[in-house]
Each structure stands twice: as structure tokens, then as C-alpha cells.
Structure 1
């Protein structure tokens, strides 16, 4: 899969991330996490922004420990997006960061 990049800054366009989300068959929460963090590609996305994206509309306010639940969602998401060359990293006390990696299929 070729990724479309911005001609100015050479960052992947959000439509490319949406294509990855589709091809990786991400669940609704996995997709929301991936696209939220992808929106901040090249930097960090605050934990509060991610929690709000995942649970902001939840009438029950979301889980009691959203960090633990997000960690599980992140693990599942990373397994699905690794073949496309991406990984979400947790940044202590800050939030989350999406980075490019060597795809697992190419590394094998």
C-alpha cells in the first residue's frame, strides 16, 4: 500500500490513515484510537484527548480506569496496524504517539 503524503511537510494525509484503518479491519474503538493519535502524527496526543475521543459521548462516563482499558485497545490496535508500518506508543504522563516502524511482514 502506498501512503499519500503532504507535498509541504511530507506527513501522511489523514485519508491515508483512514485507508489503513479500513484495511486493518479495526473495531470502532480501535479505529477511534488510531485516528485520534494519527491526527497528532509527529507529536504527542494528550491522554485526556484520547479518553474524550473514546468515551466523551458515553452516557455512563466511560470505564473507571480508562488508562487500563486504552492499554488493551492499544495492544489490539498495534497488532493490526504493525503490518502497515505504524505503532502507537504510550508516553508517560503525556499521552500517546503514533510512529512509523518497519512493517512486521517485511522484517520476517
Structure 2
């Protein structure tokens, strides 16, 4: 499980709790790879790569958060997760329009 030592029950429990997060970490990297297509970027400097991964990590987190919200609270609107500028930008991009709806879309409906 780990190469870290545990000298008492508290430390052992701490290591187990870390291990429990492993699946969430795997889920995050899967979202980063598949949902954000991070592996398709071909950047030639560490600075550019760091900036791109930082931005895509925020997007991946929001995607994971919206997925959880959809399961727990399907009546929620996108403003429960996204800022006004975020949902408006996404709406215009996805709908290929510059015309915004009167109200934020209820983006968690199935």
C-alpha cells in the first residue's frame, strides 16, 4: 500500500485515509485526460505546460463537481457551480451564439 512507516495507530489510520483518496485522484486524472484532453496539448516549454495544466485542472475539478451535483441535486442550475461569466462563456461557446438566455440554464437535467 505504501512505503511510509506508521509508528502508531493514528499514523496507520492517516495512511489508510490517504489511500482512500486514491480513487478520487484517479478520477481527477481521468477527467483531466479525457474531459479536458490535456494529453493532446503539445507545448514546448515548462512554463506553458504548467499554465495549461493549471487551467485544465480547474476545469477538471469543475467538471467533477458538476457531475456530483447532478447526482445529488438535479434541480440545481449552473450558477450553483459556475460564476456568471463562466456559464455565459460556456453557453455561447456550446450554442455557437452570442445571444444569452434570460435565465441561466438548468444544466443538470437528464
- TM-score range relative to shorter protein: 0.3 to 0.5
Name the larger-Rg structure: 2
Greater RCO between the two (CA within 8 Å, min separation 6)?
A: 1
TM-score (normalised: structure 2): 0.33
Of Structure 1 and Structure 2, which has the larger fraction of its residues in strand? 1
